Amino acid sequence: LAMLATSDGASFERVDPRIGAADDARRALRYKPSAELARRIRLRDGTCRHPGCAVPADDCDVDHVRPFDHADPARGGHTEECNLMCLCRRHHRFKTFSDWVYDLQPDGTLIVTSPEGTTTMTRPSGPLGAYRREQAHAETAAWDAQQRRSPDPSTAGSRSHSEPTYWSRRAARLAAERDRTAHPAGTGPGSPRPSEHGRWWRRNAPVASKVEQDVRALLDELLDPPPF
């Protein structure tokens, strides 16, 4: 993007990724879509939407999934993003004169049903369609992470926990500090008792010195002599 921005003649256009961002209630009752709406359909689809067809969207027709009602446009088949798709001229005519059923979802997913009942689903392969799928996956991953931290009360029942706040984290930290002060390491309830006959204790056990005992007794007599 940085290289394209500094190249001669390059330009960038911000595209609103929201579904139906280019829809117009007045133009929805006209058969021919606006240039902006047709360009969004091609950016979304990428190729012909018939299963197995790879004709680029720029060489396709923008067709109404539900036929436009020329006698009464308000009755159905509006010229909106949720009712438009790219079809090459061959598959455009095939859709018009065959008994196949085309069902377009709001996100651009197309479900095609043959007269025998076989169902095929295709997804838009254009940059706008790919961006929407990436955003949907990111939102799903973020929601799953949020549910792992704090489950939804409606689904988790009594096991749900509120999201930790600054004050709850501070209270937990102070409680841990008070516990460490009241019970130093190795003295708290449930702390394992050290082995009384361990190898380290046998190597470092205090040794009673007879000289030290005699010195202590002499100091006691000099500093605190008996009253008789």
Q: What is the domain range of residue 57?
A: 26-128
pTM comes to 0.60
What does the pLDDT look like over 66-100, one tens digit per residue? 999 988 888 888 999 999 999 999 999 999 999 99
**Looking at the domain assignment, is residue 91 inside a domain?**
yes
What does the pLDDT look like over 13-51, one tens digit per residue? 788 889 988 998 889 999 999 999 999 999 999 999 999
**Looking at the domain assignment, is residue 54 inside a domain?**
yes
User: What is the total residue count of the chain?
Assistant: 228
**Looking at the domain assignment, is residue 142 inside a domain?**
no
**Looking at the domain assignment, is residue 19 inside a domain?**
no
Cα separation, 42 vs 127, in Å, equals 9
Residues 6+ apart with CB under 8 A from 200: none
**Looking at the domain assignment, is residue 65 inside a domain?**
yes
- Token pair of 9 as six digits: 């003649």
**Looking at the domain assignment, is residue 210 inside a domain?**
no
Going by their DSSP bridges, the two strands 119-122 and 61-64 should be labelled as unpaired
**Looking at the domain assignment, is residue 123 inside a domain?**
yes
What does the pLDDT look like over 137-150, one tens digit per residue? 899 888 888 888 77
For the chain, the domain total comes to: 1
**Looking at the domain assignment, is residue 183 inside a domain?**
no
pLDDT at 198: 64
